[in-house]
Amino acid sequence: MKAQRFEGVETPDGTWFAPGRINIIGEHTDYNDGFVLPAALAQGATAQVRLRNDDLLRLHAVDLNESCEVRLSEVSPGAGLGWAAYVAGVGWAASQRGLPVPGIDLAVTSNVPVGAGLSSSAALSCVTAQAWNDLAGWGLDGPEIAALGRDAENHIAGAPTGLMDQLASVCGRVGHVLQIDTRTGEIRPVPLDLDRAGLAILVIDSNTPHTHADGEYAERRASCQAAAEALGVPALRDVPIDDVASSLADLPDVLRRRARHVITDSARVKQVSQLLAGGADPRRIGPLLNASHESMRHDFEITAPTVDLLQETAVSAGAYGARMTGGGFGGCVIALVDAGDVDAIVNACAAAAAAAHHPKPASFIAQIGDGAHRIDR
């Protein structure tokens, strides 16, 4: 990325990076005050940023070759800023907190696949938030920086996400997954040494794009809220996993299945964390990954034929477990595999997709990296 992107800007004040993420397990549990287990990826968004002495934002998306100028005073819900909402929204969120928000020039590039469920949007909002925090001297900690990114997505971009994606992007830690209690904000790094176990996490992109800012995601969130209200609890997190069938018996069918997914998937997060933290062979989490996928498929109904086929094929070809990751309705499957079996499983998934006349999947081995940081010093 070239430093000079805007007229009159000779050099940036710095360069920042924020990663995308995979979620090992715990889908749609974050906005239900439940547990999640994401990990930061090596792929992410890189931004060169320079402070201004006015309230103008001059933004350039290198990959789209698109530029945008907007004044901070013009940023508001419903402003229709497109991709720039994820950047400008951070300034709006900071101003809502009473922070001093100078204008910026920003040029950004990203190698996180868009629409794949790997949080390309969180990488964009969080790289912006981290850079602005550092340059403007806000002094915010990781969770506070992540909250700026979430508010940008929720209120300005119109994507009703929880906080998991942003926390993973800001607080990620190399060689670890993060058990996050989304009610308390507690983040517990859990070691995951795949190399030592001879394993790899294979990410298989179905090339079926999805979007969070659509009716399906919002409907799932509304259904969860309705189920919690019907059960008389603040959030589905408060329904005990013990005898969950009896607890949900009086709910209408759809609400019962939605709630069952959230409650059981949040419990699976704690099971996976306990296994990994206790030094168990990571292969033992495979059945929990499969159970999570079945729950998303049948109870939460957020998978798609493309991802279902890839999940089934990966397991049949030797994966210890596989599940869709991300908000759903397309996106990626993650598969826990022996490192030596990667090529065979990639080939099997490509062949199955071709036979079903689905898009050709794209695959890569997940490298777990660090969260948002400055990279030019």
Any idea which residues carry the catalytic annotation? 165
Torsion angles phi and psi, residue 37, rounded to 5: -140, 70
End-to-end Cα spacing for the chain: 17
Instruction: Tell me the DSSP string of 237-260.
Output: GGS-STTHHHHHTTS-HHHHHHHH
- The H-assigned helical ranges of the chain are 85-96, 120-136, 142-151, 164-171, 194-197, 215-231, 244-248, 253-277, 286-298, 305-316, 342-355
Task: Record the tokens describing residue 90, joined without a space.
Answer: 């951070």
* C-alpha to C-alpha distance for 55 and 66, rounded to whole angstroms: 20
CA distances from 258 to 201, 262, 324 (A): 27, 7, 17
Question: Backbone dihedral region of 318: left (phi > 0), alpha (psi from -120 to 50 degrees) or beta?
Answer: left
Q: 3-class secondary structure for 228-243?
A: HHHHCCCCHHHCCCCC
- Bridge-based pairing of strands 104-110 and 176-181 is unpaired
Look up residue 370 and give its DSSP letter: -
* C-alpha to C-alpha distance for 229 and 213, rounded to whole angstroms: 24
How many Cα atoms occupy the beta-carbon half-sphere of 298 within 13 Å? 8
Look up residue 154 and give its DSSP letter: I
* C-alpha to C-alpha distance for 81 and 221, rounded to whole angstroms: 24
How many Cα atoms occupy the beta-carbon half-sphere of 329 within 13 Å? 15
